[in-house]
Amino acid sequence: MTIITAAVGPTTISKTAGTETAIGTSYQIPQGFNCIKSIKVWVATPGAFTAAEPLWGVVRIYSKDVKVEPCAILAEPIGSALTSGFATPLDASYEWPLNLPVSGGNIIYFYGQILVSATVAPVMGITLKLTTEGPAGPQFFYEKGTITATGTAAATVSGTAYRVSNIKRVTGLFAAASITTAAAAKCEIASVEFASTDWKVAFNPSLAMEPQNAILSAGVMTNRLSKELGLDIPCNDPITITDKITFHTAPDAGYWITGIQFVNA
């Protein structure tokens, strides 16, 4: 068995939230390779931030040759400070498992976007891990919710319900929250709930989110994805999830988002 990595990009993407940019033109699977085991995604601003703002990125994977959607992979976020600061993630890119069966010659497309508009167009890069053997387990799919404003109160905020079809079990939960601009030296401490009447368990799953520390002056606030994989939560097909975040301290204004990893077999 051969296992090898392959880079896609880096590519400059749009600075406008919700506007997709192709990472590279396309990626053709080399002959002899039969599986994309995993993917890493990062997003960064070239040089220093010129404004006090967070940077969140997501990549959507698409193919006419293989069934891969939905597959929305979040990059590690970069926090905001009151003034300009550094422009690289504080944590290494997470390796998201895919177990995507492919064949040599298949074409895969990657479309990157940011979730909060930026002053300077950022850059996104991808690393794939390919193997000559087939998948060693089920294929993983990913779906994200809608990015939602946090508000500024120690309170519960509901997101927009999202519906996922062709699903058997949820195997991972992830979430992120970031202050847009730090107005005071505040922390962001929260938990998130994945509410649904479609779970085949007696209660809604939830996560205590990784805290975000505040820096009032120049710098980058600690910010990272909260994620829990290796779960096995049975659910109805389709499932409708209404995400909810509860801030245990009053945050500055910002945004939050959740998502799930799931299998359909």
**What gap in Å lies between CA 182 and CA 86, rounded to an integer?**
15
Shared domain for 103 and 10, answered yes or no, is: yes
Burial code (b: 16+ CB inside 10 Å, e: under 16) for 132-146 equals eeebeeebbbbbbbe
Mean pLDDT over 67-88 rounds to 77
Distance CA 209, CA 160 (A): 19
- Residue 114 in domain: yes
Within a domain: residue 210? yes
Q: Which domain, by its residues, includes 157?
A: 145-263
Q: Which of 99, 131, 163 is the last residue of a domain?
A: 131
Asked whether residue 138 is domain-assigned, the answer is no
pLDDT at 11 over 80: yes
Residue 195 lies in a domain: yes
Is the pLDDT confidence value at 194 over 70?
yes
User: Per-residue pLDDT for 28 more than 70?
Assistant: yes
pLDDT of residue 216: 57
Q: What is the mean pLDDT of residues 177-185?
A: 70
Residues 40-66: what's their mean pLDDT?
A: 86
Mean pLDDT of 239-258: 91
Question: What is the pLDDT, as a whole number, of residue 235?
Answer: 98
Given pLDDT bands bounded at 50, 70 and 90, which one contains residue 229? very high
pLDDT at res. 186: 65
Q: Which residues contact 93 (CB under 8 A, 6 or more apart)?
A: 40, 41, 42, 75, 76, 127
Number of structural domains the chain divides into: 2
Find the mean pLDDT for residues 234-241: 98
pLDDT in tens, 105-142: 999 999 999 998 888 899 999 999 999 999 999 999 99
> What count of other Cβ atoms lies within 10 Å of the Cβ of residue 217?
10
- Backbone φ and ψ for 57, nearest 5 degrees, come out as -130, 155
**What are the beta bridge partners of residue 16?**
none
Q: What band does 25 get if pLDDT is binned at 50, 70 and 90?
A: confident
250 — pLDDT class (breaks 50, 70, 90): confident
pLDDT at 84: 57
Q: What is the pLDDT of residue 252?
A: 77
Average pLDDT over residues 36-56: 83
- Predicted pLDDT of residue 81: 59
User: Based on C-alpha coordinates, what's the Rg of the chain?
Assistant: 18
Which helix (H) or strand (E) segment is 10 a member of? strand 3-12
Predicted confidence band of residue 219 (pLDDT cuts 50, 70, 90)? very low
Does residue 65 contact residue 29 with C-beta atoms inside 8 Å?
Answer: no
Q: What percent of the chain stands above pLDDT 70? A: 86
Given a cut of 70, whether residue 57 has pLDDT beyond it is yes
Strand partners, 155: none
Average pLDDT score over residue span 144-165: 93
Residue that wins the pLDDT comparison between 178 and 145: 145
Q: Looking at 131, 162, 177, which one is the last position of a domain?
A: 131
Lowest mean pLDDT among 65-69, 160-164, 185-189: 185-189
Q: What is the pLDDT of residue 180?
A: 73
Whether residue 20 lies inside any domain: the answer is yes
CATH number of 237's domain: 2.60.120
pLDDT of residue 177: 86
Quick one: 93 and 165 in the same domain? Answer: no
pLDDT at 151: 86
In a domain, 84, yes or no: yes
Q: With bands split at pLDDT 50, 70 and 90, how would you rate the model's confidence at 220?
A: very low
